[in-house]
Chain A
Amino acid sequence: MSVIDLRPGEKGYIDTILGNEKLCKRLLALGCIEGTKITFKNSAPLGDPVIINVRGFDLAIRKKDASNIKLKED
């Protein structure tokens, strides 16, 4: 599952980041690395983009990109 499968307010732990190199590099530099806690905060009123929270700050990111943030299944 990916971060967009979470319900608003729900938390998960990052497993891996897929997608192109630009996206990966950017997310990794922002601290989206394996084992990091990530919260799905909310969707925009039109459903896309979404807000996620990692390491204490909010990021707006498009659904298409966020779906590349895969979570650990437990």
Chain B
Amino acid sequence: MKTVALIGNPNVGKTTLFNSLTGSNQYVGNWAGVTVEKKEGYLDKSIKIIDLPGIYAMDTFSNEEKVAKNFLLHESVDLIVNIVDASNLERNLYLTTQLKQFKKPIVLVLNMMDVAESKKININIDKLSKELKMFIIPISASKGTGLEHIREFLLRNDFFKLPIDNEFQFQNFNSEKETYKYIEEILDKSITYSSNDIISTKDTIDGILLNKFFAYPIFFSIMYLIFKFTFSWVGQPLADLLDEGLQNVLIPNLNTLLQNSSPWFKSLLIDGIVGGVGSIIVFLPVILSLFLGISFLEDSGYMARAAFLMDRVMRKMGLSGKAFIPLVVGFGCSVPAIMSTRTLESEKDRKLAALIIPLMSCNARLPVYALFASIFFKGKETIVVFSLYLLGIIVAFIIGLLFKNTIFKKDEEPFIIELPEYKMPEPQNLALHTWDKGKGFLKKAGTIILSISVIVWFLSNFNFNGMTEINNSLFAAIGKALTPIFKPLGFGSWEASVSLLTGLMAKEVVVSTMGVIFGANLDALLPKYFTQLSSYSFLVFVLLYTPCITSIATMKKEYGNKMAIFSLLYQFLLAWIVAFIVFNLGSLILS
């Protein structure tokens, strides 16, 4: 097996090349210890291609750079494929000079030859190849031209024959200035520009999309479209359809099929397993539609502009502008939102955003607000629900500030992003990226969610004497034991704590559990257990407490055990503190 490392600057078509070489034969994972995505794929049985992160240099301290450098230093790499933007060679070759120091067989892929041509940049390939002492393959990946040459070259599998420029190490560069001088000299000999005044389409589009008056209306319209696409038009309706199919077709049929088997087995299968699987697959359409939207923004070049536009606002909570999008998605559902934090630039941004997202009030919490508001705040429902959403945002800001200045203090990175050329996203790239996300969720988060579902099913249907109602179950026993914790918050009944416990499955379950343990008439019964104030304190707790298991499982999949456990604990503590303040301050004012 030969290992080929694919490397280049961001926005040079690296992903397009990788996708066209490996097709669907690729796997996305994580580099050990960091949140940088690791992609590998196979050209055929004998050639493995590793897509290294897009970077500008090897020595400016980012995690992406460390990952790439360690890989080239410590893994057995048989060939480096360095892809560069032919229309912007000066900067692109900077990385090349650093790659040559690894003294491995290396080939330079000049991508975007079509763009260079339209910019009237004439590149003398033979000359450039001679000057750089490198083998060069010119392509236009988005047009599909030249790709077959790379494929042929790789399949010939004789790249160990490539000459290694051993003299290069004597090119001792003491500073970036010397490196750039060396590059400029080479380009002077091999490139001619036949025109200087080209009207850039990028500037024209930026003139509209970044315009003083239009920029924000356009940005918020795009956000609105993506949100609607995911949660109203496509994703959620499909999810509801799947859920209905499960409830109305699969479960009744299973019931009939299993009518002669023992009740515990029937319940395990239907409530435990089918319920668990159901809660996983209904997330899938939402995840897929969201990532279709996000990949579109990313590939078109707009995402960098979004980061630019929102930076001023998001910076206040320690995040860069791009993080606005995952946070907005969080109002729909934390799961795809946490997954989308992976598109942020720095490790600090990714982790901080993922920790804050569950504070955005997701759709699943709305049924709980609606139930309580309709009973305790008749006529003032809207303002009560709105206040909870607002509270979530305010708490997120405070937590962002707090974490930024404590746990993430040393990870501060300068905000410098390239605003690339706009382009039409390629369907293959969109499809592969979207599908990767869905597949990753099913495989990694799915198994955890399923096993927890079965455990929760067991706890809520059994006690030490065997199968029982939820009121007498192990879960109820745990809930009763937890009651003293909630007493200072104003809701010290075991029914409330058991509902909160089951709410870990999914927040809306709080309502259905209350329905089961209180019996039918919640309107009449709830006021016996809650006052107006304690009901609000309860809602504040529901807003802020530990995310549902699907979110936790997603957090574990993306960021590992430590982050998942931290998220679980800190939000419980946070919810307790804020609800405590609300209840006690409220009592003080009302008395």
Contact = CB atoms under 8 A, between A and B. Distances in A.
Interface in A18-74: 20, 22-23, 25-31, 33-34, 42, 44-49, 51, 55-62, 65
A55 B91 contact: yes
B210 A42 contact: yes
Interface stretch (B55-63, B133-141, B252-260): B55-63
Contacts of A59: 416-419
A38 to B, nearest CB: 13
B413 A22 contact: yes
Nearest to A27: B416
A25 B211 CA distance: 31
Nearest to B414: A23
Interface string B267-311: 000000000000000000000000000000000000010011101
A42 B420 CA distance: 15
Contacts of B175: 28, 33
Given A44-B210, A61-B416, A62-B415, A34 B216 contact: no
Contacts of A25: 57, 59-61
Contacts of A29: 56-57, 59-60, 94, 176
Contacts of A55: 88, 90-91
Contacts of A48: 311-312
Contact of A65 (B212, B307, B312, B415): B415
B418 A31 contact: no
Contacts of B307: 60
Contacts of A46: 309, 312-313
A33 B308 contact: no
- For this complex, into which size category does the number of interface residues on chain B fall? 35 or more
Contacts of A23: 414, 416
B177 interface: yes
Given A48-B312, A56-B88, A26 B176 contact: no
B180 interface: yes
B414 A49 contact: no
A45 B309 contact: yes
B88 A62 contact: no
A57 B420 CA distance: 8
Given A22-B414, A30-B91, A55-B91, A44 B312 contact: yes
Contacts of B418: 57-60
Given A25-B61, A33-B180, A60-B307, A49 B91 contact: no
A61 B414 CA distance: 8
Interface in B79-118: 87-88, 90-91, 94
A39 to B, nearest CB: 11
Interface string B190-212: 00000000000010001000111
Contact of A51 (B90, B308, B420): B308
B61 A22 contact: yes
Contact of B415 (A51, A56, A58, A61): A61
Given A44-B215, A59-B417, A61-B414, 5 more contacts: A29-B176, A33-B176, A45-B309, A56-B88, A62-B311
27 contacts: A22-B414, A25-B61, A26-B56, A28-B176, A28-B177, A29-B56, A29-B60, A29-B94, A31-B90, A31-B94, A31-B176, A33-B175, A33-B176, A33-B180, A44-B309, A44-B312, A45-B211, A48-B311, A51-B419, A56-B91, A57-B88, A59-B419, A60-B308, A60-B311, A60-B418, A60-B419, A62-B415
